Amino acid sequence: MRRSWPAIFLLFAWRIAFAEAPQVSIQPSSVVLGSTASVAVTVRLPKANLPLRSACNTGTLIGTDNPSELERHFTWTPPDIRFPMTALLVFWVVEERSAQPEPSLVRIPLSGRTTLEMSTEPGAQVRVEVAKASFGPRRADRRGRVEIPIEVPPGALSAQVVAEAHGRVTMRETPLDIPHNSMLAMGFSHDPIVRGEPAWLIVAHPALDPQMLDVQLIGGHLAIERTGAGSAVFRISPEDTARELMAKASFQGVSLERAQATARITSPGESAISAQPRNHFFASAMAGGFYAGGSNSGAAVAVDGSYELPVAASRLALELEVGIRSASFSGAVEGLGSVHSSVTALAIELALRALAFERGAWVVHGRLGGGALPFRVSAQSDFQPPFTQSGFAPEAFASAQVGYRLRTLELFAELRGGIAPAKTSTLDAQLGGFLLALGARYRIR
């Protein structure tokens, strides 16, 4: 089903709960396309650990890390274009299901670079003024040709060319051929949207005129609830049979100002499942080797279960690791013969994992831990009967894991330094040292 919103304001007389707007800051505050790689965005939440949602009209917005319970970091990457426009980033928090979202907008002017090629009198001094900025001067060649690189901010439609030759000054206005790009940004307050529960559509534009705004919602009904500086909030209600909502926004008579957003629809039962907090349990497996000098080297494998602690913005986790390490050694015994021995240990360890760095898909974790390694040493020789001995080796370790996330899976490499002296009346070995392993970590659904 397709419904058009006819720009009628339905004002609710009863008390409406509003969510607080997050505070947004960006660095740098403007972008020169082609020279600025990205913009760092910091969002400060009104309350700790509130779910934060966002939308943007262009470019790519990626959450990077959560430095605290009240702060979220994003990186916004400009689009691969060269003409000026204004990027619009919209953030809002989902404080509670019944609270109307209060969006925060941030505009990023994107300036484009181009080179103006002009013809004037030979030898003339030429400069170009664009939006109060001056470029040049440059002298025209003998044929009167001159090229001047300029930066064009969004909104500038023409350039003023000033040429001076033989004491005469001529001024000429040159139109800038700048393609138009939509500055509409739009998003649903929740995704998925739970049927029967309040939900909203947020539409933002730097120069939003509610009278001109045309919003279509496929799969549901909408009604405007509020307009603010550059944004409008619509209450939406999905139709009974719809499984997805699609919203399309445009300005009447301005075909280039367009935005689109989609959201899934779930039933309350499904929502109970999907609305559950994300699972805090992880499982991982890794394999590698260790080296601690001499014959203290061999294979190491481990499996690991971890629980993400609901503190410090979920940056800490407790882990239980179970692994196997082995080393072997052959040598001669003076006057008697030769001996071959091997040590096999079961590593049972507890560790505290901390998220140290997060940027895009890359993460770095640090781990501190310790445990016990029950081990068994066996020896076979050509001069005496074989024998075995067992013991426990204590272990303490610190490690760094560099990981790359692929959805719920994280591939990682770990470098660990540890001490684990394994001693008996016959054995003097070290099962710690440096351990290098590759593995995968999976968030259990």
Between CA 121 and CA 28 the distance in angstroms is 40
Contact with another protein (CB under 8 A) among 61, 236, 245, 429: 429
Question: CA-to-CA distance for 441 and 412, rounded, in angstroms?
Answer: 8
Q: Which is nearer to another protein, 262 or 380 (CB)?
A: 380
Q: Does 391 bind another protein (CB under 8 A)?
A: yes
Run of H or E including 95: none
Which member of 23, 30, 77, 295 binds another protein (CB under 8 A)? Answer: 295
C-alpha to C-alpha distance for 432 and 290, rounded to whole angstroms: 7
User: Per-residue b/e over 350-377, b at no fewer than 16 CB within 10 Å?
Assistant: ebebebeebeeeebebebebebbbebbb
Stretch 312-331 residues interacting with another protein (CB under 8 A): 322, 324, 327, 329, 331
For CA atoms 167, 168, 173, 178, the dihedral sign is: negative
Return the SS3 of 406.
Answer: strand
Q: Is 289 in the site for another protein (CB under 8 A)?
A: no
Q: Check residue 100 and report its DSSP letter.
A: B
Q: Does 287 bind another protein (CB under 8 A)?
A: no
Minimum distance from residue 58 beta carbon to another protein (Å): 50
427 binds another protein (CB under 8 A): yes
**Shortest CB 279 distance to another protein, Å:** 19
CA pair distance 12, 223, nearest whole angstrom: 11
Q: Residue 346 CB, nearest distance to another protein (Å)?
A: 4
What single-letter DSSP state applies at residue 166?
A: T
Whether a cis peptide bond, with omega within 30° of 0, leads into 137 is yes
Q: CB–CB of 300/439 below 8 Å?
A: no
Using the contact rule CB under 8 A, the part of the chain among 17-25, 31-39, 195-203, 378-386 near another protein is 378-386
Nearest to 413 by CA among 367, 377, 381: 367
User: Which residue in the set 9, 357, 383, 404 belongs to the binding site for another protein (CB under 8 A)?
Assistant: 383
Q: Which range in 211-219, 224-232, 254-262, 385-393 contacts another protein by CB under 8 A?
A: 385-393
Q: Which stretch binds another protein (CB under 8 A): 23-31, 332-340, 361-369, 407-415?
A: 332-340
CB of 327 to another protein, least distance (A): 6
Task: Choose, by CB under 8 A, the member of 377, 420, 435, 437 that binds another protein.
Answer: 377
Amino acid letter, 195? R
Among the listed ranges 13-21, 134-142, 340-348, 363-371, the one in contact with another protein (CB under 8 A) is 340-348
Beta strands in 240-361 (DSSP E): 244-251, 254-266, 281-291, 297-308, 316-333, 337-359
Q: Is 341 in the site for another protein (CB under 8 A)?
A: yes
**Residue 375 touches another protein, criterion: CB under 8 A:** yes
**Cα 286 → chain centroid:** 26
CB of 348 to another protein, least distance (A): 8
| Residue 434 binds to another protein (criterion: CB under 8 A) | no
Stretch that binds another protein, among 50-58, 118-126, 143-151, 370-378 (CB under 8 A): 370-378
Q: Are 375 and 327 in contact (CB under 8 A)?
A: no
By CB under 8 A, tell whether 284 contacts another protein: no
Residues in touch with another protein (CB under 8 A) = 292-296, 303, 322, 324, 327, 329, 331-337, 339, 341, 343-346, 348, 374-379, 382-385, 387-392, 424-430
